[in-house]
Structure 1
Amino acid sequence: MTAVRRTKTHMADGRELFYFDDTEPCVSTGRVPPPDTRDLPHVQHSSTVRYDVLTGEWVTIAAHRQDRTFLPPADHCPLCPTRPGREPTEIPAPDYDVVVFENRFPSLSQAPLSQIGARDVPPFVDGVPLWPQRPALGRCEVVCFTSDHNSSFGALPVSRVRTVIEAWADRTAELSALPGVEQVFVFENRGTEIGVTLEHPHGQIYAYPFVTPRMGQLLQRAADHRERTGRDLLGDVLDAERKSGARVVREAEHWTVFVPAAARWPVEAHIVPHRAVPDFTALDDAERAELADLYGDLLHRVEVYFPEGGPPPYIAGWHQAPVGAGRNLTRMFLQLFSLRRAPGKLKYLAGSESGAGAWISDVAPERIAQRLREVG
């Protein structure tokens, strides 16, 4: 098992920060976290979630996020370590391996009700029962994969990817235990075309007070499949992809990487465990070790997918089983996708996709898999 030491501290405004160290001397002797010397006000937010009666989905209204940090120059990056000659950042230490901290501009928060003004949130918008609303209680965390501003997740050594996985498992366990949390979603946005506002290699973790629409659809499909066949839907999908082999990118002892048969995006791949595990916390040591290798390898393949134009923008989202109802219906899996369809060209979600929700793919899934195998 990889030796990773966790150290918890607090930032100047009371937010929690966690160091996950895999290098010496911190692993052996522990880390003494330096204080956050900034003069910061406590985080304020007024987010609410409103129910869309036409879709059955909850929409988070987080107007305060309009003022969040947007693409600062590298010497003002808030995710770099605090070093002599520059202003203090979100991470007080002069160096770090992996760091997780509460987002300064959260869409969801566990802040006290009095602090976020929840007492002033009526149960219905405009007093109309068609539109229920409530405070957006949850949690949003930032995960810094490395202190190197100019690196990327795909460039990390396997040992560091393993540390990130340990951090994801740790945070999934704690966030799942928070009151009101129904789903924990781990993800990375990379590239300004995706909408990234900070270029430092990082991801995020959202602890939602509801089951997200994507997971809700999957649970319904899995429940129907279970009732009809008595089997696990994702397990059957995995078995079918492995048997076909046409879209398999890599197959190992505990995980398989493949392009789904109905891939929507110009570049897309899933990583699915062979064992029906609900989330990161349930992975054993062998599964975590193998995943570190497979995931880092997949990210590298995606980064060199196009022969020109540089690494494509992508979203990598880990769909973990919900905390409560439906947890036994699905297993965790990765969905990684890019909206770049060719060098210099993006897949725009126009009328059919955005307006009608009817997807039109520009690339055959078998061709995506072939290319991912070629660049390995």
Structure 2
Amino acid sequence: MKRTPILLADGRELIYFDERDDADRSMPDRRSLPEPPPASELRYDAVMDEWVAVAAHRQDRTFLPPSDECPLCPSTPARSSEIPAYDYDVVVFENRFPSFSHRIGPDGGPGALDAGLVPTVPGRGRCELVCFTADHDSAFARLSPARVRTVVEAWADRTTELSALPGIAQVFCFENRGEEIGVTLHHPHGQIYGYPYVTPQTATMLDSARRYAHRTGGGNLFADLLAAERAGGERVVAANEYWTAFVPAAARWPFEVHLYPHRQVADIPALDSTERDAFAALYLDVLGRFDGLFDAPMPYIAAWDQAPVHADRHLAYLHLRLFSVRRAAGKLKYLAGSESAMGAFVNDIRPEQAAQMLRESNQQ
């Protein structure tokens, strides 16, 4: 794989990940762009013990453009996009409308001062987009195993690089697919966030793992859950020598699958070459089952749970959560009062039934 970093016209970084060593990436960004926006604000919610980013500049981000104006397609002689090249394999670049950024305003942004019950600090961090293919009409499920492997290499590269940046506490790689999820660009892509704090979801999981280790004399919660699912088999959707995909027993979403490597590792860079190859094959299998379930593209979120950069790495267990809001053909699971207001999920489908449906799905 060939890795080529360049700078876009406004100073943002873009990196080509090429499957050919002879790829020419000398094409410059021909656009005239304003400077990127300064970092957002982080405001502390003392009631929920959580940080909330306020990024007002994101109101102006690109929203469902026509395909001939897609900013993630390659450039052409007649039109320049976010990617200067006329073709590419996988590309990662800094988000033009980031939730977090290292670019602090000339006044320093909101001061790191305790404003009573609402401390406010600059939203330092980094947000990147990952374009999986130059083909606007494709999807992750239609990538070749070799291309998925390139994407995994890009995830590993960016996790390592972002983890080394000052102030980054957690790196999150994810994909949103489908307008039902809230996607505003249809081109196949994902995102990577470098958070300046450990996210609430991760903190909760690691607290649970810490209590479990104490209660069991050193057991790993994630490893034991994986072992139990593999032994029982009722909720296993697919597996190979190195990975298992299963519906969790207490799934929150109508269709939710977790993919675990059989070896405990903290993050994507820790996967060896064989594990990366095996992930590509199994993930494409599961995505095909998702799309085949109702003979239509399945809206989903794919979320990598990686260890925080500096804390509790021994407790963590890398895994991917894949879930959809679709509960039946033409029907969505809406997060209404119980879920949105109370965080109390009610699932419409028994996890065992969901696993059976996915096992029997005609892969697309």
Report what 1:354 is aligned to: 340
String of CA shifts for 1:143-165, please: whole Å, max 9, x gaps.
00000000000001111000000
**CA distances 1:253-287 after superposition (whole Å, capped 9, x unpaired):** 11100000001101110001111111111010100
Q: In the aligned structure 1, how far is the partner of 2:253 from the partner of 2:203?
A: 21
Deviation at 1:33, TM superposition (A): 2.7
C-alpha displacement of 1:84: 2.7
Query: What amino acid is the match of 1:223?
Result: R
Query: What is the CA-CA distance between 1:31 and the residue it aligns to?
Result: 2.6
Does residue 35 (structure 1) correspond to residue 25 (structure 2)? The answer is no
Q: CA deviation at 1:30?
A: 4.5
> In the TM superposition, what is the alpha-carbon distance from 1:329 to its structure 2 partner?
0.6
Look up the equivalent residue of 1:338 and give its one-letter code: S
Given residue 151 of structure 2, which amino acid in structure 1 is its aligned partner?
V
Q: Which residue does 1:149 correspond to in 2?
A: 136
User: 5 Å matches for 1:1-376?
Assistant: 4-22=1-19, 27-85=20-78, 87-111=79-103, 113-115=104-106, 117-121=107-111, 123-124=113-114, 127-128=115-116, 130-229=117-216, 230-307=218-295, 310-375=296-361, 376=363
Separation in structure 1 between the aligned mates of residue 122 and residue 188 of structure 2, nearest angstrom: 31
User: Would the aligned equivalents of 1:45 and 1:106 in 2 still touch at CA under 8 Å?
Assistant: no
- The one-letter code of the counterpart of 2:133 is T
Partners of 2:274 and 2:156 in 1: CA distance: 14
Deviations 1:306-345 (CA, angstroms, capped at 9, x unpaired): 14xx212110000111101111111110000000111111
Tell me how far apart the structure 2 counterparts of residues 30 and 200 of structure 1 sit (CA, whole Å): 22
Tell me: CA distance 1:120–1:207, structure 2 relative to 1, closer, same or farther (3 Å).
Answer: closer
Determine if contact 1:341/1:347 at 8 Å carries over to the other structure: yes
Question: Is the contact made by 1:81 and 1:94 (CA closer than 8 Å) also made in structure 2?
Answer: yes
Secondary structure of the 1:270 match is strand
> How far is the alpha carbon of 1:122 from its aligned partner?
5.1
- Give the whole-Å Cα distance in 2 for the aligned partners of 1:346 and 1:114: 41
1:262 partner amino acid: A
Quick one: distance in 2 between partners of 1:249 and 1:228? 30
Q: Cα distance, 1:120 vs. partner? A: 4.4
For residues 283 and 143 of structure 1, the distance between their equivalents in structure 2, rounded to whole angstroms, comes to: 20
User: In 2, distance between residues paired with 1:120 and 1:138?
Assistant: 15
Q: How far 1:205 moved relative to its partner?
A: 0.2
For 1:119 and 1:51, locate their aligned partners in 2 and report how far apart those are by CA, in whole Å: 16
Aligned partners of 1:21, 1:195: CA distance in 2, in Å?
A: 29
Q: Contact 2:170 / 2:309 at 8 angstroms: preserved in 1?
A: yes
The question of whether the paired residues in 1 share the 8 Å contact of 2:325 and 2:332 is answered with yes
| Offset of residue 104 of structure 1 | 0.1
Percentage of pairs with the same residue: 58
**Per-residue deviation, residues 176-227 of structure 1 (Å, max 9, x unmatched):** 1010101000000000111101000000000000000100000100000011
- C-alpha displacement at 1:50, in angstroms? 1.0
Amino acid in structure 2 at the alignment position of 1:243: A
Give 3-state SS (helix, strand or coil) of 1:50's partner.
strand
Does structure 1 conserve the Cα–Cα contact (< 8 Å) formed by 2:42 and 2:120? yes
Q: 1:293 to 1:356 in 2, by over 3 A?
A: same
3-state DSSP of counterpart to 1:224 = helix
TM-score, with structure 2 as normaliser: 0.97
Corresponding letter in the other structure for 1:314? Y
How many Å apart are 1:356 and its aligned residue? 1.4
Which runs of 5 or more residues in structure 2 are unaligned?
A: none
For structure 1, the residue ranges without an aligned partner over 5 or more in a row are none
Distance 1:44 1:102 in 2: 12
TM-score (norm 1): 0.94
Question: What is the letter of the counterpart of residue 121 of structure 1?
Answer: G
What SS does the aligned partner of 2:185 have?
coil
Indicate if the aligned counterparts of 1:305 and 1:311 stay in contact, CA closer than 8 A: no
Offset of 1:105 from its aligned partner?
0.1
SS of structure 2 residue aligned to 1:316: strand
Q: Deviations over 1:109-156 (max 9, x none)?
A: 012x344x42543523xx31x211210000000000000000000001
